[in-house]
Amino acid sequence: MNPIVSNPAPPRPLTVLLIDDQPIVGEMVRRMLAGETDITLHYESDPARALARAEQVRPTVILQDLVMPAVDGITLARQIRTHLATSEIPLIVLSSKEEPKTKAEAFANGASDYLVKLPDRIELIARIRHHSRGYLNLIERNEAFAALQRTQEALNRELAEAALYVRGILPPPLSGRVTTAWEFISSSSLGGDSFGHHWLDEDTLAIYLLDVCGHGVGAALLAVSVVNVLRSQSLPRIDFRDPVSVLCGLNAAFPMERHNNMNFTCWYGVYHAPTRTLRFGSGGHPPAVLIKAGGQPRELLRTPGLSIGSLEDARYLSNQTTVPPDSLLYIFSDGVYEITKPDESLYQLEEFIGLLSAPLADGPADVQRLLDVARRVGKTDIFDDDYSLLRLHFT
């Protein structure tokens, strides 16, 4: 099979605009360039029409006399440089004056090069080609940059739409036996965070938060797929009241080899309201933090286990704890504490957990307080990773 070879774009033509009030100079330059099939010459004898003619022929280099009636050559050079359509076109001054002061003035007012007329044919052609190719390279760079900007703008729109979608599937706040509040701030490149909670029955609440490795729309789509599976309980032969069963089921259903080599960390818990028992398990995820009422020591709730999808036969464990009335549970992604400080050091997990022992406020105010700290630490409203924080108050 022959390889597919793309045909390169044909080279752009070199176009010269000569501005000189002497037709004889125009004729001499025409003869110099007559044998060069890749160079097209346009001649303009009236300097007052130079800018309009340049817009018409779009030259890759301008040759300009320095001494002309009606419009002084230095003045015309300034006009060429300040006119939007000609500001970047190479300008070669042709002049009979050889004084260094005159040359310096020409360069100071926008000339790219200076030749004493008439130069040798070989030198003139070499300089035309040199400056034209530099200008064409500049055009190609600008076109590539503009295309990149358009692509980036389209990507940013896609990321913004995806972030709105991810936020749109997050759960509405709970009230009653368990009250919830949360905050989700998408990173600039959209991470793969998502979370949720729902009652499995009237007494049993499932709680979960996950963080897909990587960024972009693909990571967000994987997170949404996992959350939809958990919410719809659509994994076959899985006991959604058992964290180990859920983590093993997710690991089997979402191998990284089938999902663009993306795996994800996950914390999954099941709260049984009548017994106030919380069973939990995790796969590579930061610990949840339980703040018990009455001054009891806080608990870090985490079990050992690899990130979900990283190894086919990964094993997971669960644990359980009792949740006294008026306790708080914080579940979060590493985006809430892996924040770069202005001195390039990272905010630490221990520093974040230390904030959770502060006097309790109502849910939304407490969540906002923690977000405000993160913004002050990083001195920014734009995070490098998704900021996901779920707070539950067990009344």
Residue 379 within any structural domain of the chain? yes
What pLDDT score was predicted for residue 70? 77
Q: Beta strand 288-291 with 204-212: parallel, antiparallel or unpaired?
A: unpaired
Mutual orientation of helices 100-108 and 73-82 as an angle, nearest 10°?
20
User: What is the distance of C-alpha 345 from the center of its chain?
Assistant: 22
Residue 351 within any structural domain of the chain? yes
Residues 245 and 106 in one domain: no
Backbone angles phi, psi at 368, to 5 degrees: -65, -35
The pLDDT tens digits along the chain (395 residues) read 454 444 555 567 899 999 998 999 999 999 999 989 899 999 999 999 999 999 999 999 999 998 888 788 899 999 999 999 999 999 999 988 888 999 999 999 999 999 998 889 999 999 999 999 999 999 889 888 888 888 777 776 777 777 777 888 899 999 999 999 999 988 877 778 999 999 999 999 999 999 999 888 888 889 999 999 999 998 889 999 999 999 999 999 999 999 889 999 999 999 999 999 999 999 999 999 999 876 677 899 999 999 999 999 999 999 999 999 999 999 999 999 998 888 888 888 999 998 887 566 789 999 999 999 999 998 888 888 899 999 999 98
Torsion of the alpha carbons at 289, 290, 291 and 296, rounded to the nearest 10: -120
Domain that residue 318 falls in: 169-394
Residue 153 within any structural domain of the chain? no
Residues 365 and 225 in one domain: yes
Residue 269 within any structural domain of the chain? yes
How many Cβ atoms from other residues are within 10 Å of residue 133's Cβ? Answer: 16
Residue 313 within any structural domain of the chain? yes
Residue 2 within any structural domain of the chain? no
Q: Which stretches within 192-242 are classed as H helix?
A: 217-232
Cis amide leading into 371 (omega within 30): no
- CATH code, domain with 134: 3.40.50.2300
Residues 267 and 346 in one domain: yes
Which residue among 126, 141, 156 closes a domain?
Answer: 141
Residues 119 and 183 in one domain: no
- Return d(Cα 325, Cα 318) in angstroms, integer: 22
DSSP 137: H
What pLDDT score was predicted for residue 220? 86
- CATH code, domain with 175: 3.60.40.10
What pLDDT score was predicted for residue 16? 96
List strand residue ranges (DSSP E) for 30-90, in order.
39-44, 61-65
What pLDDT score was predicted for residue 349? 92
Residues 57 and 95 in one domain: yes
Burial class (CB in 10 A: 0-12, 13-18, 19+), 283: buried
Q: What is the tally of structural domains in the chain?
A: 2
Closest CA to 373 of 388, 391, 355, 359: 355
- Return d(Cα 193, Cα 184) in angstroms, integer: 9
Which residues are paired to 166 by β-bridges?
A: none
User: What is the model's pTM?
Assistant: 0.68
What pLDDT score was predicted for residue 201? 96
Residues 127 and 235 in one domain: no
Residue 151 within any structural domain of the chain? no
What pLDDT score was predicted for residue 56? 93
What pLDDT score was predicted for residue 5? 47
- Cβ 162 vs Cβ 112: under 8 Å: no
Which residue among 141, 161, 182 closes a domain?
Answer: 141
Residues 136 and 38 in one domain: yes
Residues 219 and 342 in one domain: yes
Angle subtended at Cα 126 by Cα 124 and Cα 131, rounded to the nearest 5 degrees: 95
Closest CA to 62 of 8, 24, 7, 111: 111
Residues 174 and 238 in one domain: yes
Residues 106 and 209 in one domain: no
What pLDDT score was predicted for residue 64? 92
Helix then strand then coil, % of the chain, to nearest 5: 35, 25, 40
Residue 35 within any structural domain of the chain? yes
Residues 190 and 294 in one domain: yes
What pLDDT score was predicted for residue 214? 84
Residues 219 and 183 in one domain: yes
